[in-house]
Structure 1
Amino acid sequence: MDSASLGKNLQGRDLSGERMFGAELNGADLRGAKLVKTRLSGAELNNANLSDANLEGASMNRAQLKNANLTNANLTGVKLQEANLSGANLTGATLTGTNFNEADLSGAIFGAAILAGNDLSSANLSKSDLTAANLSRAIVSNSKLNGATLSGADLRHANLSGADLSNADLSGVQLENADITNANFKGANLSNADLRGLNLYGCNITQANLSGATLPDGTKSR
C-alpha cells in the first residue's frame, strides 16, 4: 500500500493485514486504528499518535517510533526487533508476547506495564521508566538499563545476565532468584530490594545502595 495516498489522518481506520513496509507515517494520527497483523517493518512512525490502536500480531521490526504515543495500545505479539522506540509512551499498553529484542527503548515510559516473560534481550532501556512494571521471567540479558527507573518492579526469575543496571533506581524491587550473572549494579539504588536467592558472583555492586535490602541469605542489610 502506498502510504502517501493515505495521508496522515488515519484515526479509526482499519488497515489490518496491509503491506506497509517502510511506510512514511511520521506524525500520523492513528488513534484507535486497527492494524492487526499489518506489515510495518521499517515504517517511519516518529511522533505518531497510536493511542488505543490495535496492533496485535503486527510485524514492526526496525520500525521508527521515536516519541510515539502508544498509550493503551494493544501490542500483543507484535515484533519490534531492532525498532526505535526512544522516548515513546507505552503507558497502559498491552504487551503480552511483544518482542523487543535489540530495540532502542531509551527514555521510554512503560509505567506499571506487564512484561512478564517478554524478550528484551540486548535492548537499550537506559533512562526508561519501568516503575512498578512486571518483568518476572523476562529475558533482559545484555540489555542497557543504566539510569533507568525500576522502583517497585517485579524481576523475580528474570534473566538479567550481562545487563548494565548502573545508577538505576531499583528501590523496592523484587529480584528473588533472578539470573544476574555478570550484571553491573554500580551506583544503583537497591534500597529495600528483595535479593533472596541471588548469586552475586561476578556482579559489580560497587557504590550500590543496599540499605534495608533483604540479602541473598535472607538477612536484612542496615
Structure 2
Amino acid sequence: MLTVSPSIAPDIYGIAPGFRALSITVKAAAVQNPHVGETALKEACAAVLAGAPEWAEDHLAAWAKVFQGFGSKPKRTPCSADALRKRVLRDGEMPALDPVVDLYNAVSLQYAVPVGGENIAAYQGSPRLVVAKGTEPFDTVKEGEPAIEYPSQGEIIWCDDTGVTCRRWNWRQGIRTRLGVEAQEMWFILESLPQMPLEKLHEAGKMLTDGLEKMMPGLWFDVALIEEQHK
C-alpha cells in the first residue's frame, strides 16, 4: 500500500509554535467527474467574496508573522493561502487550471489554509520540512526557461533527497513534483497555525477527500494529523 511519512524538523515548531498539518495520501482511480474541482472553486471564490471564513484574517496574519520570522517578506512572497485569497478579492474569481489543482485551491480558499498537492511518485525519499542550508537545488521556470535556484540559508523549505519541492514553506512549488489530474499517486499537505480551529482543519481535509471521491470514485486515501510530539 502507498505510504508517505512526512517529517517535520524539531526547530520548525520553535519558528511556528502550535503548527499542525494534515497529511493526505491518495492512490488515484479513473476520473469520472472532472467538473467537481471547478465547481468547488467557484463556490469557494463566492465564499471568500462573502467574507468567509471568520478566522481568515487572523490565520493569514499569523502566517505572515511566521514568514517574517524566517526572513521572508510576506507582502512580496506570501503564504499560498494568502496569495490565493488576495487574487480572488482583487479579480472576483479564479480560472480553472486542472481538476485536482482546482479542488485543492478551493479547499485553501474555503478554509484560508495553505494546501500543497504533490505527485508523490516523483519524490526521492520522504517529504521533509526543514530549515534550508542554502545549497538545496530548486527546479523552476525563469523567463520561460527551466532554471535552478537555491533557497536562502535559514529559509523554511519542503524537500526530498533530490532537492527543494516547495520554497518559503508553502509559497512556490517546484516543477519536478508538480501535481496534475493524471497523477496516480498524490500527496496533499494542509498546514495550519492555532488561529485556525483544529476541527476546521479536519473539515478542510474532508472537503478535499470528499471532492476527490466524487471526482474519481474508487480511489484509496489515508489521512494523518501531524503535530509536535511533547515528551
With normalisation by structure 1, the TM-score equals: 0.20
Kindly name which structure, 1 or 2, has the bigger radius of gyration based on alpha carbons.
1
From the two aligned structures, give the one with the greater strand fraction.
2
Larger relative CO (CA 8 A, sep 6+): 1 or 2?
Answer: 2
From the two aligned structures, give the one with the greater helix fraction.
2
With normalisation by structure 2, the TM-score equals: 0.19
